[in-house]
Amino acid sequence: MKKLKRFTSFVLSAFLICLSLISCADGGNEGKTTEPNSEEETKQAVSPVIADGIMIVGTGMSAAPFTFGDENGYPAGFDIAMINLIGSRLGVDAVIEPADKDDPISSLGSFIEVVISALPIDESNDKVDFSKAYYTSKQVALVASGIDDITSAKSLGGKNVGARPGYAPLLAAQEVDAKVKEYGDCKAAAKDLIDGKLDAVIVDKSIANALLKEHGSKLKAADGVKLEDVGYGIALPKGDKALAAAVNDAIDKIISDEQGGAYKNINKQFLEISR
């Protein structure tokens, strides 16, 4: 599949070069100077990622209910449903593959072309670009039962805090002066919290509720900790403006399509059941 996509990209590039040579032979538009509309050109351009009708998507499968393995071990969750909707809008098949569960973004650029895995949009990441937010995540701080000294965001100062990959700069921007350890696997973070290796774990509300259901009386939410919402985005190849424009347009249309209701339906299917 990887070779097929490379061959397709080669053929597409050769075709574009031929067109350029033909244009030069004809003299082009001599005497005319036209300023290109870069935004319009970006919208009309086709990324090599989707040019062959296939988009290979990586996901960590370790942040239920956004991404997890179903009873047969296949990728499932809100993120999987969302990327399939995006693929339909783009006219491509979204082929889902497991990514590194501890650091999903690190899988991008092998044969995996985009990554969706409950990833906070991290503008400081200089290795990838992010789509616009496809979901706005409300943050919850989990602590071990019996812990009463974490009552606000400020009280996290100096504490050992577990969080999803990409959260560290976001928490620093909110002046949360904690010692942040990033976890791709939310269950591993919960285990370390229960075992006393962490003082708190910050996750999305739906993820928190899933962990609370699993661990019963061992964990609780620190309701006094108020944190800013976080936008979840799709990690894209750095500099692929055509792909970013196409994906962002698809996200806009999916979220705004109240008549079709697909976005509302996947929210209800995967996220409301965990609340």
Q: Are 69 and 61 in contact (CB under 8 A)?
A: yes
Would you say residue 31 lies in a domain?
no
Same domain, 160 and 201: yes
Closest by CA position to 156, among listed 142, 169, 136, 146: 142
Would you say residue 93 lies in a domain?
yes
Rounded Cα–Cα distance for residues 135 and 78 (Å): 10
Same domain, 54 and 129: yes
Rounded Cα–Cα distance for residues 228 and 134 (Å): 17
Most distant pair of Cα atoms in the chain: their distance: 79
The count of domains in the chain is 2
Between helices 241-256 and 78-90, what is the axis angle to 10°?
A: 110
Domain that holds residue 144: 139-228
Same domain, 124 and 240: yes
Q: What is the pLDDT of residues 134-173, one digit of tens each?
A: 999 999 999 999 999 999 999 999 999 999 998 888 888 8
* pLDDT, average across residues 93-101: 96
Would you say residue 35 lies in a domain?
no
- Give the number of other Cβ atoms within 10 Å of residue 26's Cβ: 9
Tell me the β-bridge partners of 256: none
Give the tokens for residue 90: 């783009």
Q: What is the pLDDT of residues 64-86, one digit of tens each?
A: 999 999 999 999 999 999 999 99
Same domain, 216 and 243: no
Would you say residue 24 lies in a domain?
no
Q: Where are the alpha helices (DSSP H) in 59-197?
A: 78-90, 167-173, 186-194
Same domain, 182 and 120: no
Q: What is the pLDDT of residues 247-272, one digit of tens each?
A: 999 999 999 997 789 999 999 999 98
pTM of the model as a whole = 0.82
* Predicted pLDDT at 173: 87
Average model confidence (pLDDT) for the chain?
86
Rounded Cα–Cα distance for residues 115 and 69 (Å): 16
The residue count of the chain comes to 275
Would you say residue 4 lies in a domain?
no
Asked which of 6-10, 32-36, 40-44 is least confident by mean pLDDT, the reply is 32-36
Same domain, 123 and 251: yes
User: Does 120 score more than 50 pLDDT?
Assistant: yes
9 pLDDT band (50/70/90 cuts)?
Answer: very low
Same domain, 124 and 245: yes
* Predicted pLDDT at 216: 83
In three-state secondary structure terms, 101 is coil
Rounded Cα–Cα distance for residues 250 and 64 (Å): 24
